[in-house]
């Protein structure tokens, strides 16, 4: 078990591409997932921290309001949200770089590997990208294949395409 919070706050909201569920420990966002794919990350997070009280009545950080604003057109509303993803040191390095990708821009897995000083690690970057427990806020949807294609997205490539279009990316776009 990982060391977890004393209480978790769970919220759910509707978006143009499906209901979004998010978890916060009251200090930072811990997980985000679309409601039709909950086994992918949310349950893994909850298994990792063990039995924990859940509160669905409060949103102590205003996460829901920020995500609603993002889907409502303020694509920068989620940038300042505190996020504490659980993962390996390598994953956390990748996720930190993902947060630096501006809305409406894309980057390749190989380019991230190069930024990390490990040019041969594009596949490992892809695996870390796929394990991201806080999609949208840690914008793994902004990472595309070397040939400009929209490669996998845990919640469906149609959502990845929608998110990029919503942010003003012109597909395919390589930076």
Task: List residues with catalytic annotation.
Answer: 140
From residue 114, give the alpha-carbon distance in Å to each of 13, 89, 97, 98, 119.
Answer: 37, 17, 11, 13, 4
Contact 43, 54 (CB under 8 A): no
Torsion sign (Cα): 31, 1, 131, 90: positive
Task: Please tell me the distance from the alpha carbon of residue 66 to that of residue 169, in angstroms, as a whole number.
Answer: 21
Contact 68, 16 (CB under 8 A): no
Ranges of H-type helices in 131-173: 157-166
Decide: helix, strand or coil at residue 54: strand
50 Cα distance to chain centroid: 22
Within the chain, what is the greatest distance between any pair of CA atoms?
46
Residue count (the chain): 175
Task: Name residue 1's beta-bridge partners.
Answer: none
């Amino acid at each position: 078990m990982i060391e977890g919070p004393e209480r978790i706050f769970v919220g759910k909201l509707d978006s143009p591409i499906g209901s979004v569920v998010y978890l916060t420990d009251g200090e930072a966002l811990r997980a985000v997932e679309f409601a039709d794919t909950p086994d992918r990350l949310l349950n893994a997070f909850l298994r990792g921290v063990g039995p924990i009280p859940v509160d669905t009545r409060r949103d102590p950080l205003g996460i829901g309001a920020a995500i609603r604003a993002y889907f409502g057109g303020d694509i920068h509303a989620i940038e300042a949200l505190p996020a504490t993803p659980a993962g390996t040191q390598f994953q956390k390095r990748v996720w930190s770089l993902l947060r630096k990708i501006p809305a409406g821009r894309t980057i390749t897995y190989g380019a991230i590997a190069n930024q990390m000083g490990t040019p041969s690690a594009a596949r490992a970057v892809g695996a870390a990208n796929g394990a991201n427990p806080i999609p949208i806020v840690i914008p793994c949807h902004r990472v595309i294949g070397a040939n400009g294609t929209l490669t996998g997205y845990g919640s469906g490539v149609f959502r990845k395409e929608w998110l990029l279009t919503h942010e003003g990316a012109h597909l395919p776009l390589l930076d």
